[in-house]
Amino acid sequence: MTGLVRRLVSVAPRSRFEGTAGSGGELWFVITGGGRLDTVLLDAVALPAAAPGEPGAPGDGPPRLSELRGCEVERTGDRRFRVVLGPGRGCEAATQFVGEIPPGRAPEHSHPYDEMVLVLQGEGVAHVRGAGGDRPLAPGTRLHLPPGRPHCLENTGAGTLVVLGVFHPGGSPAQKKQ
């Protein structure tokens, strides 16, 4: 596998999900539900395999668990984000974060990493240069941004646009070029 691969998994009440992470590992995020009586909607992102000795190489240890409520709120401009897993936070190979975007549009920028976005709440528009025009954003929308692709996410709603992001290799969601 050469890039990030995302899938949404629905786990029925009283059943089990046994992941099949490849050699690069996998990041999971529970979107809704929990426990034994709820249906759980799980975001699973498979990571590219790392070469032996690189961060995230096979055999890097047991699964790690992080809860969103325990993650520090960080800021970049008027946007807030919380890194769930990332370098120095249990996953050296990639970063998983929840971002909160207030109404409005940020300047166009790009990132040095491969990024996948899943909209959890709100509405907006993805402005992605060279990708065939603007794309509407709503809960459940998925977006892939290759490294270096100029883009910005605009919140066109009255409330907060909440996104789940995963990027590889790991780093800070604030790392960008304008």
pLDDT tens digits, 140-163: 999 999 999 999 999 999 999 999
The reported pLDDT for the residue numbered 142 is 93
The reported pLDDT for the residue numbered 176 is 61
State the 10-residue block means of pLDDT for the chain, 178 residues long: 75 78 76 77 82 54 80 90 91 91 91 91 94 90 92 95 92 66
The reported pLDDT for the residue numbered 133 is 80
Phi, psi values for residue 68, rounded to 5°:
-55, -45
Residue 153: closest CA among 122, 98, 108, 112? 108
Measured between alpha carbons, how far is 178 from 176 in angstroms, rounded to an integer?
Answer: 7
- Each domain of the chain, given as residue ranges in start order, spans 5-46, 68-168
DSSP 51-78: PTTSTT-TT--S-----GGGSPPEEETT
The reported pLDDT for the residue numbered 5 is 81
Residue 117 in contact with residue 164, Cβ under 8 Å? yes
Determine the topology of domain 68-168 in CATH. Answer: Jelly Rolls (2.60.120)
In the structure encoding, which two tokens stand for residue 27, read together? 């990041």
pTM for the model stands at: 0.83
